[in-house]
Amino acid sequence: MKLLKTLPGARRLIAIGAVLLAAVSLQLPGPAQATPSPVVGGTRAAQGEFPFMVRLSMGCGGSLYTQQIVLTAAHCVSGSGPNTSITATAGVVDLQDPRAVTARSTEVLQAPGYFGYGKDWALVKLDRPVALPTLATATTPEYDTGTFTVAGWGSAREGGAQQRYLLKAEVPHVSDAVCQQAYGSSLVPEEELCAGYVQTGGVDTCQGDSGGPMFRRDAVGQWIQVGIVSWGQGCARPGYPGVYTEVSAFAAEIAAAAAAL
Ligand code: ARG
């Protein structure tokens, strides 16, 4: 149930019969693993540490692009248009914290031209602004390098349960060339960015983290979002880094879409 819930991309891809290679990458639990999958290597985030983090009720993450617009992944939503079915929970690391700020969606914008691979971004408009800090997005590739922070309420290990408490981890950038060694033509290098520990695995985002931000500090020490959790082969497997939407590639399009939402 939880697994299915967190695989909207898989269902969509299968549904539209898109690129077979991409389907392979959708981390349906691999051939039964005799031993537990590696822990995804996160630790608990402190209350208020990442105040821009959002949990969306379909089982995805997101970030506050504005106080009334959540940036998430295209594969987390089913299309564009009026939509009152999504609940956004923010302002807490514990999803059961009574201090959680919740809001309902009014409209969704799925990246134009999204057909199941690449362009994995979407905007969710909320029914009211939430009084929380937003996360700036990278407008150039200058921060698409170094070590990134990822966070989410998704599985703490491949095939594992969704989390009540927000987990965080740090993952180093992986070059397109190295990432292509893992994923070949499934990777869209102009639109995607990879991160993880290729040699050892062990730290990664996982099912249910999709749509959440990958971010780092900019030149003046502010958090800046460079990626959106998108896909990977399993989670935290050696040789298979996580794949993230390259936010800078879509910055102008996202800004225009947000202004029109
Ligand atoms: N597609 C997943 C989701 O819907 C995210 C998977 C990320 N995988 C990874 N190995 N980094 O939640």
* 86 in any annotated domain: no
Residue bearing the CA closest to ligand 1, atom 2? 207
Pocket test for ligand 1, best of 37, 193, 209, 240 (most atoms within 8 A of CB): 209
Residue 168: both structure tokens together? 């965080």
Give the pLDDT of residue 239.
Answer: 97
Total domains in the fold of the chain: 1
Tell me what percent of the chain is helix, strand and coil, each rounded to the nearest 5: 20, 30, 50
* 105 in any annotated domain: no
Full residue range of the structural domain in which residue 245 is found: 136-249
* 64 in any annotated domain: no
Ligand 1 binding pocket includes 209 (Cβ within 6 Å): yes
Give the pLDDT of residue 35.
Answer: 29
Degrees, nearest 5: CA angle 91-92-96: 130
Active site residue 75: yes
- Burial of 36 per CB tally in 10 Å (0-12, 13-18, 19+): exposed
Active site residue 120: yes
* 115 in any annotated domain: no
* 35 in any annotated domain: no
Domain of 185: which CATH number? 2.40.10.10
Is residue 130 a contact partner of residue 55, using CB atoms and an 8 Å limit? no
* 181 in any annotated domain: yes
- Atom of ligand 1 at shortest range from CA of 235: 10
Ligand 1 binding pocket includes 205 (Cβ within 6 Å): yes
Give the Cα separation of 135 and 132 in Å (integer). 10
Q: What is the pLDDT along the chain (261 residues), one digit of tens a residue?
A: 223 333 334 433 333 333 333 333 334 333 333 323 323 799 999 999 999 999 999 999 999 999 999 999 999 999 999 999 999 999 999 999 999 999 999 999 999 999 998 999 999 999 999 999 999 999 999 999 999 999 999 999 999 999 999 999 999 999 999 999 999 999 999 999 999 999 999 999 999 999 999 999 999 999 999 999 999 999 999 999 999 999 999 999 999 999 999
Ligand 1 binding pocket includes 37 (Cβ within 6 Å): no
* 61 in any annotated domain: no
Ligand 1 binding pocket includes 242 (Cβ within 6 Å): yes
Ligand 1 binding pocket includes 56 (Cβ within 6 Å): no
3-class SS of residue 101: strand
Please identify which of the residues 37, 105, 210, 230 carries the catalytic annotation: 210
- Atom of ligand 1 at shortest range from CA of 75: 4
* 44 in any annotated domain: no
- Atom of ligand 1 at shortest range from CA of 10: 1
